[in-house]
Structure 1
């Protein structure tokens, strides 16, 4: 009897595993990603080349499982049944919260290439809930191509571009722990750009590299640093063989 019960439980577990990891997402670009507790989350993005269709898909890969590069082996799990998932394209994301377990999205393009929607959404990976965040103070313009950085309870959002009015931004906006925005743009800030990469360094500096400036890719021979402790910008020249200029690429900071 116990052997039969064990067999039934094993069969149920196998069926659940097949169901949970049988999700296969459509190809996309402009989506967001965030890595929390061995799970790589993916949010929204455009599923057509002309960017006419913006999804509200939400899924993750469980990186604690063994899998290979075969599409049928990747353990995708869909969370698209949750309420409140934003439909955004070319937005920015950051991992925030006292326990680094909340995904925050910033800006991006909404349906019909619109910008008239919520500036910030958050997803709590513990309670599995989406929320739109109400903020105050000097509200920054909504734009695409921003890579926000979270540091010691503050969110920094630099640059970005608005397709509708053709405006490139070089503003630096900061959201504090009380959800108040302030603009801390300085006269020596880098020129307006979008699609760059950013990274928080251990010394409190935020590194900015590459992106698009007036429709042209920015060279990678100059690294911009924003010092969050002393509120100042620095531009640093690089050495070695400079890679080709580029925008809308990704980077990973390894300690």
Structure 2
């Protein structure tokens, strides 16, 4: 094999080795936003219904398009000692806000993990078998407030526990569970240090939104607020994010018909007024047919609400685990847009509603895989052509330069 052939083989091999990370449809994972990266961990998949310990991140420091190869990196080798799970809660906390804290239940045992300084996972058995539904870090990163209910004989007992992140080992404080409200949903930390729980189960195991339970981390007290405005329809499986101007946006949710989406998938709670006020955006373009309504995560990056994975119903009404990421541009009040292009610093490329709808109507759950494969194949083909042409030009130039010397040698 010539040295040029060896170079070509090594070059092509490196292209294969560095091919993009392949996303797998999942539901029930966690998402943690830190250092311009959204870290995804765990979740149920069709192959592993009891959960996984998959670990990867989406780099949001650079622009990308959902129809192209996404800037995703695989970190699963770092999470090989994390127990596989499908239900858990996570938050970014610690004095420097540089640590992912994960609390999850596996086989009747509770585990508490720390992904320290973006280097390694630290596992500590957690003396509890609660099913936690939310985890919130306070403003200075010293405490994590986790909320949930017990399992087994304590199935109907709800409690809040507080983790002190400044201790060398895990440190637990708890409040009297008798004063903790029952059946609360997504938790949002407000700028004034209060935690707003967006949804309270009243009946039918669906969350209602007229009453908002609020926990004040400053003095450890609970209050109830009766909100005003257009109350969202009852649901479960929804997510919530907080914008920089004090609006809580909830997305998704299943209706009274189990595993069917509610009609009002997006609602907004204004926390700048007292009482908080609900409203519905006057304009929202048509959502992609593969947009999930449950089992997803929602992360706000700038003015983009990034909705990852989860489950949705396809055209034959079957439940499908999504392997895709979707985005909503929430920069314009009352005028939200499903978009495909992400650019840091809030520069947008908006897709028209008709184009988005028609493209997604025929896209299968594996379309993202096809886009990745197509993009990778096209890139490899282009590089192969460039290398081949360069090599031919090099040979031609070498022939022109060295031919006279060869002729002179023959005459000698």
8 Å Cα contact 1:61/1:76 also seen in 2: yes
Matches within 5 A, 1:89-168: 89=131, 91-96=133-138, 98-107=139-148, 109-112=149-152, 114-127=154-167, 128-134=170-176, 140=181, 142-143=182-183, 146-151=185-190, 152-161=192-201, 166-168=204-206
Matches within 5 A, 1:171-250: 171-176=211-216, 177-186=218-227, 188-214=230-256, 215-218=258-261, 222-230=265-273, 231-236=276-281, 237-242=283-288, 243-250=290-297
Counterpart among 92, 100, 104 of residue 35 in structure 1:
92
Per the alignment, residue 55 of structure 1 pairs with 109
More helix by share: 2
8 Å Cα contact 2:150/2:158 also seen in 1: no
The CA deviation at 1:160 is 4.8
Per the alignment, residue 18 of structure 1 pairs with none
Per the alignment, residue 252 of structure 1 pairs with 299
Distance in 2, Cα, partners of 1:196 & 1:114: 25
Distance 1:31 1:77, change over 3 A: same
1:26 aligns with 2:83: yes
Distance in 1, Cα, partners of 2:199 & 2:260: 14
8 Å Cα contact 2:100/2:116 also seen in 1: yes
Q: Structure 1: where are the runs of 5+ without partners?
A: 1-20, 48-52, 66-74
Q: Which has the higher contact order (CA 8 A, sep 6+)?
A: 2
Distance in 2, Cα, partners of 1:252 & 1:116: 30
8 Å Cα contact 1:93/1:147 also seen in 2: no
Distance in 1, Cα, partners of 2:263 & 2:83: 32
Q: Which moved more, 1:214-223 or 1:230-239?
A: 214-223
3-state DSSP of counterpart to 2:131: coil
TM-score (structure 2 length as normaliser): 0.45
The CA deviation at 1:251 is 1.8
Distance in 1, Cα, partners of 2:263 & 2:204: 24
TM-score (structure 1 length as normaliser): 0.70
The CA deviation at 1:94 is 1.4
Distance 1:143 1:221, change over 3 A: closer
Distance in 2, Cα, partners of 1:29 & 1:179: 31
The CA deviation at 1:202 is 0.5
Distance 1:22 1:149, change over 3 A: closer
Aligned residues: 210
Larger Rg: 2
Per the alignment, residue 62 of structure 2 pairs with none
1:87 aligns with 2:129: yes
8 Å Cα contact 2:234/2:255 also seen in 1: yes
3-state DSSP of counterpart to 2:233: coil
Distance in 1, Cα, partners of 2:103 & 2:157: 17
Q: Structure 2: where are the runs of 5+ without partners?
A: 1-77, 303-412
More strand by share: 2
